Structure 1
Amino acid sequence: MQRRRLAYSPPSLRARPVEALTPLAPRPVRRVLFRQRWRDLVFLHWPADPFEVARLLPAGTVPDLYQGRTYVGLVFFRMDDLAFGRTPALPYLGSFGEVNVRLYSRDSSGRRGVVFRSLDCDRLLPVLTARGAFGLPYRWSRISGQWFDNRLLYSTNRRRGARAGARVWLDVEDEPVAAGPLEEFLTQRWGLHERFLGRTYYLPNTHPAWSFRKCTLLDWEDDLVAAAGLSKPQGEPVSVLYAPGLPVRFGTPVPLPASGMPLD
């Protein structure tokens, strides 16, 4: 007998209305905890099973849905000019490659966010700092990013444990391209959700509006999504984006109420 697939309906969080998708942050970051610049970002996205995703999200959050579906993202980029507060950017340690696997969440205050299932980084000290201070699932990896004329190649392999890795090969043009409704849902995110020391928090961020360029996916390989506890992506990504980059500021963590009720 064929098993019927049920539609996913997120559990009630006794929530406020979900915030609108906006090209700029809907809330100011009053106190900057740290700053950084993201460069040469490549976003690959696939549909994900919302029942599977729901089990992987921190308490107090549910999958954020676009037209009844949720997604898993594999994102490659270069981080530069990492700095804390108003201090100057860190030399050497403040620049590194990163590859992350991310899901999409919302909380009882209606805030949309990102949940990172893994963050691969090629500097050990930022890995240890992010894990120890914020509970983020950073992994020490080898990451390379190279341009060959207008073609960009990223690759990563973990240094320890299971030898999971990923690779993307992209042709990038100078022509700007507008984000569609799905891409707005995937990229207009103004914070992350994480659980640390028994409490879920929201870490807000702000940055200029995204700009994207026309690109063509030439090839890709991935073991990171499955290593992050999700089903291995089937088929080509449904969304491929390239962004030159932008400066980003992060605020201080906001704890979610233990009861799941909205914050005042």
Structure 2
Amino acid sequence: MWMMTQNWHDLLFLHWPVDPADIRKHIPVELELDLYDNRAWIGIVLFKARGTRPRFMPPVPGAANFLEANVRTYVRYKNRSGVYFFSLDANSKLAVEIASVGGFLPYRRARMSFDKNEGKILFRSETMKKEGPQEKIALEYRILPQPAVSTELEKWLTERYCLWTKPAHQLLRLDIAHKPWKLKYVQGEISENTMAPYLGKKFKNEKPMAHYAEVKKVRFFPPVIET
């Protein structure tokens, strides 16, 4: 039975192939990197979260609607494939506090803006960390009208229905449910990207694969302890 629901609006996937050795040390030892043609992948995903609420409850004021920018890679545990998050940034203080209780997910507060005007979308995010360099991303893009070709790689990158996290030395799995993606391509430019500096700069020097989805209703299920 699902425990929380949320709508994702104006979601943008950005993906880069990377050397598995560059990220292996940054994921829990229990997880195996999920590779495509012997390459690992880094994803930065930007979207507007709307209508966030627990099951049978109304949205919590201050934590229902926010912007999010997350950095992730793709992993396997036993026979399942899913997502591992390096960071999840949001511009709602309350949403960050709730989601990061007990270190459950690595949420961080950020200054963020989203502007959509005359077919162009501008998205900016900058972390508000107390220590270390701030992580930023800024980009402008336009949605192309034709649907994206649903290739094997595009499905592999986007059709992911669980994530793993490891708070307090315990590996947990969180399952999610939504309908398959209906994606479009975009044209645009990333003007700044200092996200995930610990992963190196090589992947950010290349042009990413980019896909856009207008809206997606998502449901989250209770965490499961992996054994």
TM-score range, shorter chain: over 0.9
- 2:41 is equivalent to residue 71 of structure 1: yes
Q: For the residues of structure 2 that align with 1:34 and 1:98, how far apart are their CA atoms?
A: 17
Who is 2:213 aligned against? 243
The structure 2 residue matched to 1:179, chosen from 150, 155, 164, is 150
Q: How does 1:55-94 map to 2 (within 5 A)?
A: 55-94=25-64
How far apart are 1:236 and its partner, in Å? 2.8
Who is 2:137 aligned against? 166
Q: What is the SS of the residue equivalent to 2:199? A: coil
Q: What is the SS of the residue equivalent to 2:184? A: strand
Q: What is the SS of the residue equivalent to 2:97? A: helix
| More off after superposition, 64-73 vs 169-178 | 169-178
Q: For the residues of structure 2 that align with 1:212 and 1:48, how far apart are their CA atoms?
A: 23
Q: What is the SS of the residue equivalent to 1:94? A: coil
Checking the alignment, whether the CA contact within 8 Å between 2:53 and 2:59 is kept in structure 1 is yes
The structure 1 residue matched to 2:66, chosen from 96, 112, 136, is 96
Superposition misfits of 4+ residues, deviation over 4 angstroms: none
How far apart are 1:222 and its partner, in Å? 0.8
Which 5+ residue runs of structure 2 have no aligned equivalent?
A: none
Q: Over the residues paired in the alignment, what is the CA RMSD in angstroms?
A: 1.5
Checking the alignment, whether the CA contact within 8 Å between 2:170 and 2:225 is kept in structure 1 is yes
What one-letter code is carried by the residue in structure 1 that aligns with 2:122? Answer: L
Superposed CA offset, 1:90-126 (max 9, x none) = 3442000000110110001x11111110111001111
TM-score by length of 2: 0.93
Q: What is the SS of the residue equivalent to 1:252? A: coil
The count of corresponding residues between Structure 1 and Structure 2 is 224
Q: What is the SS of the residue equivalent to 1:246? A: strand
How far apart are 1:185 and its partner, in Å? 1.0
* Greater radius of gyration (CA): 1
Who is 1:121 aligned against? 90
Answer 1 or 2: which has greater strand percent: 2
Q: How does 1:16-55 map to 2 (within 5 A)?
A: 31-55=1-25
Q: What is the SS of the residue equivalent to 1:182? A: helix
Q: What is the SS of the residue equivalent to 1:128? A: helix
Q: For the residues of structure 2 that align with 1:234 and 1:73, how far apart are their CA atoms?
A: 11
Q: What is the SS of the residue equivalent to 2:189? A: strand
How far apart are 1:71 and its partner, in Å? 0.5
Checking the alignment, whether the CA contact within 8 Å between 1:74 and 1:225 is kept in structure 2 is no
- 2:172 is equivalent to residue 201 of structure 1: yes
Who is 1:5 aligned against? none
